[in-house]
C-alpha cells in the first residue's frame, strides 16, 4: 500500500507527489491521460505560482516561458493599459504539466498514466486497471468529479461557464504588439485572455456563460464571431494561424468557494477539486500548487483531512472571494462600463486590482 495515493496528475497532484516523494515516502500517482496534452487555461503564471514551481525545482523560464509585465483591458473599441504589480510568465500547460509530472518521477513517485479512477471508496480507488490503495488519499482530478462512496459530487451549476482555448502563430508584427502584455477583453456574458506563451505561440482563452454560448449558436464558429467582433482581438489575430484543428473546450465550470460537505471524509481535495477561483485573476494554478504544499504538510505530519481543508480555506478564501466579486461585477454591463472608465481615468487601479486578487504569501512555518 502506498503512503500517499494521488488521483490526478495535473499541477496539484504532481506537485503533491513531488513533495511527499521527496521526503522519502512511497507515492502512487494515477493520471488518466497517456501523455502530454493541452488543457483549457489562460496559461498566465502568477508570481505566487512561479514561486511554488521554483520550490519544486521547476524553472518555467528554462522551459521557454515568456515574461508578462503589463495588462491591457479591452472594452469594445477602447482599451486601457497598466503595469502588473509583478512579472508573470506565459507557459503552456502542455509543457508545464509534463515537466511537473516528470519531476514527480525523478523524486521517486510511482506514476501510472492512462489509468482512469472510476470510484473512490475509503482508502481504495477502483480504476480501469484494478484497485489501488493508499494510507492517505489525495483527490486532485481537477474539474472532473470522481464517484466517492457511490456518490458523484459534480457541483453542477444552473448556468455555469464554458471555456475554450486556441493557440495561434501570429504575424511578427502582431507578436511584437502582444509581447509582454496580457490582453483581457470584456464582453457581455464572458471574457477572453490573450497572451504569448513559449515557442512564439499566442494563447487565446475564452470563458462564457452557457446561456450566452447557446444563444450564440452553440459552436466554435459562432464563438469566433463573438470574440472577433472585438476590434483589438481581431487586429492581433488577423492573419495569424490557428494551431489546433479545433479548440480545446471544457463545460460546466463552477467558480467559488467549496460547499461545506466537500471538506468531510478522509480524502484530501486539492486544486480545482477543492475550489475554482475565477479565471480572470490568473491565480488558479497558484491555488492548485498551494493546496499541494498544504496537503504534503498534512500527510507528512499525519494531520487529519479536516485540518488540511481548514488551512486551505484560510489561505484561499480572501483571494476567491475578491475574484468572485470582480467576476460577478463585470457581468453587469453598467458596472463593467463604470469600472472600465474608472480604470481609463486612473490606470493604476488595474495594478491595484491585480495586487488585491493575489494569494497571501507562503509561509512554511
Ligand atoms: C478557462 C480557464 C482559464 C484559466 N486560466 C488560468 C490562468 O491563466 N492562470 C492560472 O493560474 N489559472 C488559470 N485557470 C485555472 C487553472 O487552470 C486550474 O486552477 C488548475 O489547472 C488546477 O489544477 P489541478 O491540478 O487542480 O487540475 P487539473 O490541472 O485539471 O489536473 C487534473 C488532472 O487529473 C486528471 N484526471 C481527471 N479525472 C481523472 C480520473 N478519473 N482518473 C485519473 N486522472 C484524472 C486530469 O487528466 C488532469 O491531468 C484557468 C481555468 C480555466 C477553466
Tens of pLDDT, residues 183-198: 999 998 899 999 999 9
Cα 206 to Cα 183: distance, rounded to the nearest angstrom:
12
Residue 267: φ, ψ to 5°: -80, 150
Rounded CA gap, 365 and 354, in Å?
26
Band (365; pLDDT cuts 50, 70, 90): very low
Q: How many C-beta atoms surround the C-beta of residue 2 within 10 A?
A: 20
Alpha carbon of 315 to those of 53, 88, 125, 186: distances in Å?
Answer: 18, 21, 29, 28
C-alpha cell at 193: 485572455
- Taking the centre of ligand 1 as the mean of its atom positions, its distance from the CA of residue 309, in whole angstroms, is 19
The per-residue pLDDT for 34 is 97
Cβ neighbours of residue 60 under 8 Å, at least 6 residues apart? 45, 50, 53, 89, 91, 96
- Mean predicted confidence (pLDDT) in 136-144: 93
Q: Is residue 298 part of a domain?
A: yes
Rounded Cα distance, 49 and 56, in Å: 11
Q: Which of 5, 6, 7, 8 has the most ligand 1 atoms within 8 A of CB, as the residue to mutate? A: 8
Residue with the smallest CA separation from ligand 1 atom 17 is 41
309 lies in a domain? yes
**What is the model's pLDDT at position 65?**
98
Ligand 1 in reach of 41 Cβ (< 6 A)? yes
Whether 10 lines ligand 1, by a CB cut-off of 6 Å, is yes
- In 3D space, the residue among 18, 16, 25 whose CA is nearest the CA of residue 139 turns out to be 16
In the reported structure, the alpha carbon of residue 142 is separated from the centroid of ligand 1 by a whole-number distance in angstroms of 5
Q: How many domains does the chain have?
A: 1
Residue 150 pLDDT greater than 90, yes or no: no
Residue 11 near ligand 1, beta carbon < 6 Å: yes
14 within ligand 1 shell (Cβ under 6 A): no
* Alpha-carbon distances of 240 from 130, 168, 181, 281, rounded to whole Å: 46, 6, 17, 26
Q: What is the mean pLDDT of residues 81-103?
A: 98
Percent of the chain residues past pLDDT 70, beyond the cut: 95
Residue 49 CA: nearest ligand 1 atom is 11
**pLDDT tens by residue, 201-249:** 999 999 999 999 999 999 999 999 989 989 999 999 999 999 999 999 9
Q: For 52-70, what is each residue's pLDDT tens digit?
A: 999 999 999 999 999 999 9
Given this model, what pLDDT does residue 261 score? 55
* pLDDT at 290 > cutoff 90: yes
Any domain includes 76: yes
**Does 13 contact ligand 1 (Cβ within 6 A)?**
yes
* Residue 322 forms part of a structural domain: yes
Provide the CATH number for the domain around residue 296: 3.50.50.60
Give the pLDDT confidence score for residue 321 in this predicted structure: 96
247 lines ligand 1 (CB under 6 A): no
Residue 240 lies in a domain: no
- Give the percent of the chain with pLDDT over 90: 88
* Residue 71 Cβ < 6 Å to ligand 1: no
pLDDT band at 262 (very low <50, low <70, confident <90, very high): low
Does this model's pTM top 0.75? My answer is: yes
Q: How far is CA 174 from the centre of its chain?
A: 26
Q: Give the model's pLDDT for residue 269.
A: 95
- Residue 134 maps to a domain: yes
Strands (E), 140-253: 147-148, 151-152, 161-169, 181-187, 190-196, 202-209, 241-242, 248-253
Residue 149: is its pLDDT beyond 90?
Answer: no
Confidence of residue 155 (pLDDT cuts 50, 70, 90): low
Range of the domain at 8: 2-157+254-356
Residue 7 belongs to a domain: yes
Which grid cell sits at 43? 496559461
What does the block give as the cell for 166? Answer: 486556441
pLDDT of 15 reads 98
Segments in 129-283 forming alpha helices (H) = 172-178, 210-216, 220-228, 231-237, 271-274
**Using CA atoms, how far apart are residues 60 and 66, in angstroms rounded to an integer?**
9
Q: Predicted confidence band at 37 (pLDDT cuts at 50, 70, 90)?
A: very high
With a cut of 90, say whether residue 348 has pLDDT above it: yes
Predicted confidence (pLDDT) at residue 50 exceeds the cutoff of 80: yes
Q: Specify the pLDDT at position 187.
A: 92
236: in domain: no
Ligand 1 contacts CB of residue 138 (under 6 A): no
Residue with cell 502563430: 169
- Per-residue pLDDT for 152 more than 80? no
Amino acid at each position: 500500500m502506498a503512503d500517499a495515493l494521488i488521483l490526478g496528475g495535473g499541477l496539484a497532484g504532481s506537485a503533491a507527489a513531488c513533495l511527499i516523494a521527496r521526503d522519502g515516502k512511497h507515492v502512487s500517482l494515477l493520471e488518466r491521460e497517456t501523455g502530454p496534452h493541452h488543457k483549457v487555461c489562460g496559461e498566465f503564471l502568477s508570481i505566487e505560482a512561479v514561486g511554488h514551481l521554483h520550490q519544486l525545482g521547476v524553472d518555467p523560464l528554462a522551459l521557454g516561458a515568456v515574461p508578462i509585465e503589463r495588462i491591457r483591458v479591452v472594452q469594445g473599441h477602447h482599451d486601457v493599459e497598466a503595469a502588473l504589480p509583478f512579472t508573470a510568465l506565459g507557459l503552456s500547460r502542455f509543457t508545464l504539466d509534463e515537466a511537473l509530472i516528470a519531476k514527480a518521477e525523478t523524486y521517486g513517485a510511482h506514476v501510472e498514466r492512462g489509468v482512469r479512477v472510476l470510484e473512490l471508496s475509503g482508502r481504495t480507488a477502483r480504476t480501469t486497471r484494478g484497485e489501488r490503495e493508499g494510507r492517505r488519499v489525495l483527490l486532485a482530478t481537477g474539474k472532473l468529479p470522481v464517484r466517492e462512496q457511490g456518490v458523484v459530487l459534480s457541483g453542477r451549476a444552473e448556468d455555469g461557464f464554458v471555456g475554450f482555448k486556441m493557440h495561434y502563430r501570429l504575424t511578427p508584427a502582431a507578436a511584437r504588439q502582444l509581447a509582454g502584455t496580457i490582453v483581457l477583453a470584456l464582453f457581455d456574458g464572458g471574457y477572453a485572455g490573450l497572451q504569448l506563451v513559449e515557442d512564439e505561440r499566442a494563447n487565446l482563452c475564452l470563458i462564457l456563460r452557457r446561456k450566452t454560448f447557446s444563444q450564440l449558436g452553440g459552436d466554435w464558429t459562432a464563438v469566433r464571431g463573438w470574440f472577433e467582433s472585438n476590434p483589438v482581438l481581431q487586429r492581433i489575430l488577423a492573419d495569424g494561424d490557428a494551431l489546433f484543428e479545433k479548440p480545446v473546450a471544457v463545460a460546466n465550470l463552477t467558480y467559488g468557494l467549496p460547499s461545506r460537505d466537500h471538506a468531510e471524509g478522509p480524502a484530501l481535495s486539492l486544486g480545482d477539486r477543492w475550489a475554482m477561483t475565477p479565471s480572470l485573476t490568473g491565480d488558479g494554478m497558484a491555488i492548485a500548487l498551494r493546496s499541494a504544499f498544504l496537503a504534503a504538510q498534512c500527510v507528512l505530519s499525519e494531520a487529519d483531512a479536516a485540518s488540511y481543508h481548514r488551512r486551505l480555506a484560510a489561505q484561499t478564501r480572501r483571494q476567491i472571494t475578491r475574484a468572485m466579486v470582480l467576476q460577478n461585477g463585470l457581468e453587469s454591463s453598467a458596472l463593467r462600463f463604470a469600472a472600465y472608465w474608472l480604470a481609463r481615468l486612473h490606470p493604476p487601479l488595474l495594478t491595484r486590482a491585480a495586487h488585491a486578487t493575489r494569494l497571501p504569501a507562503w509561509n512554511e512555518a
